[in-house]
Amino acid sequence: MEITRREFLAGTASMMAVTAAGGCASTTSSRPLPKLAYVGCYTTKQRNGRGEGITVHRIDAASGAWTPMQLVKTADNPSWLTFDRHQRVLYSAHGDGEVISAFRVDEATGQLSPLGTQDAKGKNGVRLGVDASNKFVICANYGSGTVAVLPIKADGSLGPVADLPALPGKPGPHRTEQPNSRPHDVVFDPRERFVVVPDKGLDATFVFSLDPASGKLVPATPPSVASRPGAGPRHAGFHPAKPCVYVLNELDSTLTTYRFDGERGALTPLQVITTLPPSFTGHSTTSEIVVAASGRFVYASNRGHDSLAIFAVEEAGTLSPVGWEPTQGKTPRFFAIEPSGALLYAANMDSDTIVVFRVDAASGRLTPSGQVIKTGSPSSIVFR
């Protein structure tokens, strides 16, 4: 469902006032800002959601100001968004739901039109990945401990599940957060040969290869690596050049650096480092991780401390802390660095804001730009 621009703008007056008063200054990066941003959110009372659907925003190339241009009302909690490899189709996983939605992207305007939904044969899909051949979508079914592989049809819509492996292992020691397998991410290595799936419930990170003919997931050798008990592996990010992958552990607020064997897919732990400053004594969990395209820095978000932890990448691929930047909001479930690398967007889910930071390419440090985008319960952002 699409609403008029006047109706949409009526609910975003505060956003535009902030942008006009202290909008993001133009970037000095050689790469231009993306033209469009797509924001996923939570919508249900069970999730304390205040979003209405997927929102599409136009980004001004000079000022960085966002102008809302479309609201798409879809299945509940369109919480995770990802494009196909050609940015012609947008896919959404739905928190607490059992389907994946597909939307055609208009080449000229960037607006979305529905292509239908497909059953993921599992509950609470939390993350999606599209393989290099653009033939399959892989979904982490957090609520049912499975990883679903769905074929992409010629028009971009999804076919029925082609593979649905369950993740084996013993649940971790946390009584409420680790009752069973809880896969939480789908990440391809830089050579697109392997898929990494951190499992928060089993304290393990699994590695698969994808058979391009059948769509079957084939376990690597060995099929997984264990984390510390109670760590709760959540999300992962590969270094663009070094043979390293960084796994963010939700429950104990740590980051583990693994050496990655690009031939076998094997992971070897090198380091565990906290995402919290030594002076913090409260409760916090991690949420999102981003490895800078330069490979020089790694960022992670803390929910509770409500900050972005900044780490420098050392020669061996291990990390050293640079500092912590408050996200100026509550519960930064997601953040992203846009393709130019100049700006970071922190989605504060429980304060209904996306706060924009300038990224210092030399130090990795973050500075608030003054731009704050008002939107209900934001949980993911993709750029086009």
Q: pLDDT tens-digit profile of 291-325?
A: 999 999 999 999 999 999 999 999 999 999 999 99
Residue 65 pLDDT:
94
Contact 56, 70 (CB under 8 A): yes
β-pairing, 233-238 with 244-249? antiparallel
Q: How many of the other CB atoms lie within 10 Å of CB of 176?
A: 5
Residue 31 pLDDT:
67
Order of all β-strands in the sheet with 343-348: 332-337, 343-348, 353-359, 366-374
Contacts of 58 (CB under 8 A, 6+ apart): 35, 36, 66, 67, 68, 69, 110
Residue 32 pLDDT:
74
User: Which residues are 17's β-sheet partners?
Assistant: none
Residue 271 pLDDT:
98
Tokens describing residue 238: 């590969």
Residue 215 pLDDT:
97
What are the boundaries of each domain within the chain?
Answer: 168-285
Per-residue pLDDT band for 1 (boundaries 50, 70, 90) equals very low
pLDDT at 373 over 60: yes
Per CATH, the architecture of 168-285 is what? Answer: 7 Propeller (2.130)
Residue 290 pLDDT:
98
What is the pLDDT of the chain when averaged over all its residues? 93
- Residue that the structure tokens 């979305």 belong to: 112
Poorest-pLDDT segment among 17-31, 85-99, 265-279 = 17-31
- Residue 214 sits at the vertex; the CA angle it makes with 113 and 202, to the nearest 5 degrees, is 85
Contact 59, 371 (CB under 8 A): no
Residue 10 pLDDT:
41
SS3 326: strand
Contacts of 213 (CB under 8 A, 6+ apart): none
Mean pLDDT of the region 23-30: 45
Cis peptide leading into residue 222 (ω within 30°):
yes
Q: pLDDT tens-digit profile of 234-269?
A: 999 999 999 999 999 999 999 999 999 999 999 999
Q: How many of the other CB atoms lie within 10 Å of CB of 48?
A: 11
For residue 19, report the phi and psi dihedrals to the nearest 5 degrees.
-65, -40
